[in-house]
Chain A
Amino acid sequence: MRLGCFLLFVGVLFGAPARRAKLVVYPENPLLFGKGSTQRLVVQFVSADGRSIDVTESAKFSSEEPEIARATFCRF
């Protein structure tokens, strides 16, 4: 079994100006066990005043190491 790390980039387009807002990806450090196993991700937009919005639907995922982990889009 190959072990490896990968980085995932998530980008979301927002109309509103985001002041010190951040994007949080859940789970934070997923570990995948077994080739072909999958892990769903949820992306939350957290605004400066602490409000959070589920933006998974409008997020674009890409993997830095597609050989290790691939990001695909699937509906829940």
Chain B
Amino acid sequence: MEITNRTDIFGRRDFIRIGSLGSLGLTLAGALRANARKDISVILVWQSGGCGHQDTFDMKPDAPIEYRGEFKPIPTNVPGIQICEHLPYTAKQADKFTILRSMKSRENNHERAINYLLTGYLPLPTIEFPSMGSVVSKELGPKNGLPPYVAVPNTFPSYGGGFLGADYNPFLAGDANVAGYQVRDLKLPVDVDWSRVNNRRRLVQQMDAKFRAIEASPEFAAMDAFQQRAYELLSSPVAKKAFDVESEDPKLRERYGRTPVGQGCLLARRLVESGVRFVTVAKGWLNYDTHGNNFETMKKVLLPEFDRGFAALLEDLDARGLLATTLVIAMGEFGRTPLVNKAAGRDHHAKAWSIALAGAGIPGGRVLGATDKTATEVTDLPVSPEDLLFTIHTILGIDPAKEYHTPIGRPVKIVNGGKMIKGLLG
């Protein structure tokens, strides 16, 4: 019986593959089956530029000062787990997430490392791989008339649909922290009311009638369809409501923090609540790239805004019963060098770093993987970008080995190999 059900969800090939994972065996398959039914959404809190693991989730208080840096660890609400003193709110939510201290990449360059971590492929100059958000968008499709993949505030290199095409690029939400936030172009211009819209659309239809006769191309059809969806979205109460961060209780908005990251997290919650499948929340491009003045920047800006946003997101999702159906990931493209440099900064370090994962059946209050005493090398449970993407897609009920074809017909798997992260699902 068990077997029949599993094959229903994953198809025969996946059943075989998952079955062969051995130790994970039935628990995993059971959890995944549940997820596929539950419609898991993803919120990726993106630390663009690479966040110092030894300054956040993998503190090394016993290392020499030139390695451990200025920050001190504090206890969390889970006995035995300590994190950085500048993450006090997050420390109170430690029972809700798992710290994975053993990420390991092969790319030390931002663009390439980001591309690698978001696509599951080492970048090539000749082929653009789709990001995981685009894959999720393609595999799960839109729900409630909302775009399936939304980027807050913006899209950045490697976010896109790659060879899958622009259809799977993220919908851009903009900065939710600006006063009177509105998603871009989701409101008619001042002076243009619906009667004018109707007048205009009638004119366009008259003009296009001749052109439609010229060519019945799929592109024209897609354009008309998007136009239709655009007007639906413009007049849709669901969409308006989903993006309406301003309607939130000011106290809750405070809890998330009045920063682009904090309000972005809040918007992300509203979006997954309304049916968006994948939301990225970022401060901007390469903000965590602290080659100089690492501790000041982290202490004063980066950590506080992340801390409030991330902690409030977990608490809020949990309180609303959404955490079980939302996979929350906090990560950047690599860690930072253990040895502090002359400019009081830390440089790029791809050999080891930490990420945090919560929700979607991932038990909280745990630490997986480990690094050595200076946080330089992974000593336990090395996890590659391929492994991470394999795991994320599997949790969502998407077959990581499914093949797409590039426009020139080259078969490309969703993830370039990879395996399930051992123990992540318990």
Please say whether the chains A and B touch (CB closer than 8 A).
no
Q: Point out residues on A near B: beta carbons under 8 Å.
A: none
> Hey, which bits of chain B sit against chain A, CB under 8 A?
none
